[in-house]
Every structure is written in structure tokens, then in C-alpha cells.
Amino acid sequence: MNNSVPEIGSPARTKAILNRYRLVAKKSLGQNFLSDLNILRNIVSAADVSENDNVIEIGPGIGALTEQIALKARKVVAFEIDENLLPVLDETLLPYDNVKIINQDILKANLPDVIRDEFEPGHPLKLVANLPYYITTPILMGVLQSNVAFDQIVVMMQKEVADRLSAEPGNKEYGSLSVVMQYRANVEIAFEVPRTAFIPQPNVDSAIIRLTPRESLPVTPYDDKALFGFVKGCFAHRRKSLWNNLQGIFGKQPEVRERIETVLNKVDISRQLRPERLTLLNFIELVNAFHDEGLM
Ligand code: SAM
């Protein structure tokens, strides 16, 4: 790299790039460019990226995070939907021969194919990104449900969503999204990022989440989709008791109520509990017990 050129994520260089290409950040695509080199480097460190790693990035923007990943990783493949950014990325990332940009909507991408075509096998695979916030949940659900075995996922998102994804039972942020995400991965907040670190500044603060996909759980549900639907149903009225929500799912007929009662006794869970008190394992035990009882 030419040492006289400041790195892309420095505020001065970010502003110069935006001016030179007359780029106006597109709100509709969640374009807020991170321009703080310490934070960019800390994101890459949070994923412990090393020269042995293959990395997927989503939404490289003008290349600030891509550059920091490229400095550490074996190879980076980044998906960018906005074709106006392609000539910018061609120039900003020119010094790096381990970067490949794919002009595609990540929600339509075939990740397993891209990974097979672009990466040499036998190396750790990581996902590192400053996500477009308007599609944080679909991206994460898609990634966690794809058959791709990421060793580590480190992504930036709106702080409020990060709090929900990482919330534990009993916390007011704990809900169906927390349970579903924690079913797939161990979720932790690595650090928070103030809105002032971006150009232009968003209206919300951000946080970096580290997701480590789970290998196995002590109990597994009879069906993933049934578990997700059941958890959603249990949180339909979070101020009401589990008993109320279960009747919302299965019905209020006396015969059904009796069977719900049988299941609750079997798994030893009180009908008066609010859904936010239930752990992931409670939900899995319940869904399996309702299945055994013939209600699902
Ligand atoms: N990585 C850059 C940074 O940290 O400064 C930019 C991050 S910006 C929050 C999100 C980026 O995602 C934008 O470049 C935007 O164009 C891109 N993007 C938005 N929707 C996308 C999609 N569906 N698929 C791929 N990229 C998308």
C-alpha cells in the first residue's frame, strides 16, 4: 500500500472519496459510512481475523472495513448491492489483491456456491460486516439457516436490535428474536459504537455482536420451524401468562386445555409464568412435549 495515502476509514479520506465521486449516501440502502480507524480495527480484532482466514463481508460501502479485513485476512469476498459504489471500490481497494467484490443483493446470493467458487477449502470462514440496518434480521436469519458453517460472525447493527438478540430470560428485551437467534448461536455484544463515528450520522447508536454458531444443544426440537412458530406464539402477548398464550396457540376448548395442562405438568413449568421467563431449553422441551401430546 502507498503509505502517503491515509486509510479509507479516516475521516479526511472518507470525506475526500465522497466528494470526489459526488456520492450522496442512500438512506434506503442503509448507507452510513464508518469513519473511525480504531473502531474499524477493533471490529476486525473482535473476529480475531488472521492470515489464515477467509472472510465474507456484506455491504463494503466505500471499502473502509474491507481494507482493514484485507490487511489481516487471507481473502475477503464482499457483497455490495449498489452498483454506483463499484468504481469507487475499484479504486479504493486497488492495492489489495485479496479482495473480490460481488455486485449482488446478499438476500439473493447463493452463499454456499460463492464460498465454494471463491475460497480455498481448509481455512476458517468468518463473516464480518457493518450491516445495512434495514435488513439486519433477514440477513442474520438467512446466514444462520444457510448450510454454511461460519466459524465466527461479527457484525455491527443498531444497538436496540443487538440488545434484543443478546437478551437473557427475564430481561425486558428478551423475546422471540432472542430465542431464535440464541438457538442458532451464542450471542454476545462485543462493544458499542456511538452515532458520531459515521458519515452521515445515523439517528441511532450501534453495537457489534459476536455470534459463535452452536455445535450442539443438550435437547433438540423435533422440528426447527415448529420451534420458531411456537416461540413466536408464546410471545404474542408478552404481558399475559404462558397459559393464556398457549390457549392462543392451541385453542380454548376444555379438551385442549386439559391437554395443555398435562404437558405443563410433564415438563414441570408453571402456567402462571410470563413467556419472558422461559429459557431456550424450556421452549425446546415444551415444543417436543406438545408434539408428543399430538397437539403439534
Ligand atoms: N462497510 C461500510 C462501512 O462500514 O462504512 C458500509 C456499511 S453501510 C452501513 C451498509 C452497506 O450495505 C452499504 O454500502 C449498502 O449499499 C450495502 N447494502 C444495502 N443493502 C444491501 C443488500 N441487500 N445486499 C448487499 N449490500 C447491501
How high is the pLDDT of residue 3?
58
Cβ 60 under 6 angstroms from ligand 1? yes
Give every CB contact of residue 203 below 8 A, 6+ residues apart in sequence. 195
Q: Is the pLDDT of residue 2 over 60?
A: no
Strands 75-79 and 54-58: parallel
Cβ 101 under 6 angstroms from ligand 1? no
Q: Is the pLDDT of residue 214 over 90?
A: no
Mean confidence (pLDDT) of the chain: 96
Q: Is the pLDDT of residue 145 over 90?
A: no
Question: Of 62-66, 211-215, 255-259, which gets the smallest average pLDDT?
Answer: 211-215
Q: Hey, what's the cell of 63?
A: 471499502
Q: Is the pLDDT of residue 116 over 80?
A: yes
Q: What is the pTM of this model?
A: 0.93
Instruction: Give the tens place of pLDDT for each residue, 178-198.
Output: 999 999 999 999 999 999 999
Q: Which is nearest to 230 in space by CA: 156, 287, 160?
A: 287
CA-CA distance, 62 to 83, in Å (whole number)? Answer: 11
Ligand 1 pocket: which of 26, 130, 161 to mutate (most atoms within 8 A of CB): 130
Cβ 82 under 6 angstroms from ligand 1? yes
Cβ 36 under 6 angstroms from ligand 1? no
CA 108, distance to chain mean position in Å, is 16
CA-CA distance, 188 to 176, in Å (whole number)? Answer: 17
Q: Is the pLDDT of residue 146 over 90?
A: no
Q: What is the mean pLDDT of residues 226-243?
A: 95
CB 150 within 8 A of CB 81: no
Give the DSSP H/E element, type plus range, for residue 13.
Answer: helix 11-20
Q: Is the pLDDT of residue 5 over 90?
A: no
CB 277 within 8 A of CB 174: no
Q: Judge whether 86 is annotated as a binding position.
A: no
CA-CA distance, 296 to 285, in Å (whole number)? Answer: 13
Q: Which is nearest to 222 in space by CA: 283, 284, 282, 267?
A: 284
Question: Of 2-11, 51-60, 132-141, 225-234, which gets the smallest average pLDDT?
Answer: 2-11
Q: At what angle do helices 280-292 and 176-184 cross, to 10 degrees?
A: 90
Q: Hey, what's the cell of 240?
A: 399475559
Q: Which is nearest to 224 in space by CA: 288, 276, 267?
A: 288
DSSP string covering 32-53: -EE--HHHHHHHHHHTT--TT-
